[in-house]
């Protein structure tokens, strides 16, 4: 585990950019994205805190994302298909080859 930096202000884009850059250089790695801030899209503070604990546990639990099967490319405590594929609470582990491909495709869609 490597703590990149701590920002008092900003958004997920800073951390996700560092994650993407790492994955470009290390395509065989598995990375995790985690945070301890509340999102305006999340529920009430106690509900948000509870979800954050569940998500963190899934990332570090050896029966969870830490031992993600080879057939998976992303892992989180809760992955939802609607309204779009996403990890509830925005904390996840993912294989770098997936991260690089996903973000590259997303950037191409923005053009």
Query: In this predicted model, what pLDDT tens digit does every residue of 6-40 receive, in sequence order?
Result: 777 767 777 788 888 899 999 999 988 887 665 55
Peptide bond into 15 cis (omega under 30): no
Mean pLDDT of 97-111: 72
pLDDT tens column, 42-100: 555 566 677 888 888 887 776 778 788 889 998 888 888 888 887 877 788 899 999 98
The span from the CA of 55 to the CA of 35, in Å, is 10
pLDDT of residue 75: 87
Q: What is the DSSP string of 18-86?
A: HHHHHHHH-TT-EEEE------TTS--HHHHHHHHHHHHHHHH-TTTGGG--TT-SEE-S-EE-SSSSE
Residue 86's pLDDT is what?
79
């Amino acid at each position: 585990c490597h703590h990149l930096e701590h920002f008092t202000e900003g958004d997920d884009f800073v951390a996700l950019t560092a994650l993407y850059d790492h994955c470009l250089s290390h395509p065989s790695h598995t990375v995790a994205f985690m945070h301890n801030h509340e999102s305006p899209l999340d529920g009430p503070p106690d509900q948000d805190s509870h979800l954050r604990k569940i998500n963190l546990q899934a990332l570090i639990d050896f029966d969870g994302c830490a031992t993600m099967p080879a057939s998976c490319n992303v892992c989180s405590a809760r992955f939802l298909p609607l309204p779009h594929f996403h990890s509830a609470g925005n904390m996840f582990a993912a294989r770098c080859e997936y991260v690089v491909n996903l973000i590259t495709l997303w950037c191409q869609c923005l053009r």
